[in-house]
Structures are given as C-alpha cells and as structure tokens.
Chains A and B, each alone.
Chain A
C-alpha cells in the first residue's frame, strides 16, 4: 500500500514564475491538506481539500491555490513566486473514518 506521494522532489524556480506541486493521497483517503514548512520552522497549514472543494484555508495569500481531482489527488499552485516562498511543501491525507493524518515526503521548492 503506497503512502502519500508527492512530485517533484525538488524544484528550482525564478521569482515571478508559477509552480504546480502534486500529491497523491494514501489509498482510502479522501481529504488532502497542504502545508508550507520554511527552514527552521514548523509546518504551516495552507488549505485542505475535500470532495474537490477547499474546506479550510490558513493565512496564505490568493497566490496560493489548489485543486482536488475526482481520484482525490491534489495540486498546489503558487503564482508570482517570491523568494519567501522557498520552503518544503508537505501534503497530508486523511479521511473521516480514521483518526490519522499521513504526510508525504514533501517537495523542496527553491525560488531564486
């Protein structure tokens, strides 16, 4: 049983560009959450998707958007990249029946 998978592993972008990160949830999970973890910090909640809708959102600007597909996989899009967007982006999946959230290995985004 594959856990949560994320792609790509690493990414380098230039300021002002746009980026798309991808996440496949653990089998049987229908909810995907995205987190940003800056260097030396704890993860910060970006948003959560359930039934293809954004259910909750943290304190992130509209440059951060997402999508969930019918197969429950998800994308995180960041527009107009800033140097401060450099971070590890973590995806986590869960469902209503289990009380556990599984994290993927993350995508390391570097903005130059």
Chain B
C-alpha cells in the first residue's frame, strides 16, 4: 500500500530564513511525487511534481524539491521564506494519471517577522 509521512506537523521559521519540509513515501512502483500548498479556506495549489529525470525539481514561488530514491524522500526547500508562504503544505504520491493519489497529513508553516 502506498503511504506518505510528513513528520513535522507544525514548523515556525523567521522571514528570510531557509526552509526544509520533510516527506517520506512508500510506493510499490516508480513514484510520481507532488507538493501542494493550501492557504486557509482555499483549495490545493500544485507547487511542483516529479515524474522522472533530474532529481532536483524546481517549482513555483521559488520552491524546489529533491527526490532521493535510496531514502524514499522528497523534501521541499526554499532558500528564503516570505511571510506570504505561511500555509499548509502537503506531500503526495501516486501513479501517473492521478488515480488514487495519497496525501500526507500536512505540515503547517508559520512565518514570524
């Protein structure tokens, strides 16, 4: 069975500091991996996705993620956080075609001045 673990429920960072959100997955085949962001009262917005190729993936809003097959990880990073990045972030795994995508429980990011 596929699963996603986001070990950090809540993270607080100072504006301008770097950020890394952790994600570990379990998947029986080649995984398709995603990071989504959800602002309060909003739907989910795709930040980036990994299907194949270069294991360092660039996304929107200055985010990037690195796929490490040996560690079953797909951590999200940003070099300098802005106050507008405060939101909840979800890692997800699934097959191509978006059938039965499995989400983690999310990491809530708080940004302090």
Contacts and interface: CB of A to CB of B under 8 A. Distances in A.
Given A41-B105, A99-B51, A56 B44 contact: no
A55 B99 contact: yes
A41 B45 CA distance: 16
A7 B96 CA distance: 28
Interface residues of B, number: 23
B-side interface mostly = loop
A104 B98 contact: no
Interface residues of A, number: 26
Interface of B: 4, 36, 41-46, 49, 51, 90, 92, 96-106
25 contacts: A4-B43, A31-B98, A33-B98, A33-B99, A33-B101, A35-B103, A40-B106, A41-B105, A42-B92, A42-B103, A43-B90, A43-B103, A48-B100, A56-B100, A90-B44, A92-B98, A94-B98, A99-B49, A101-B98, A101-B101, A102-B46, A103-B36, A103-B43, A103-B45, A104-B43
Interface of A: 4, 31, 33, 35, 40-45, 48, 55-56, 58, 90, 92, 94, 96, 99-106
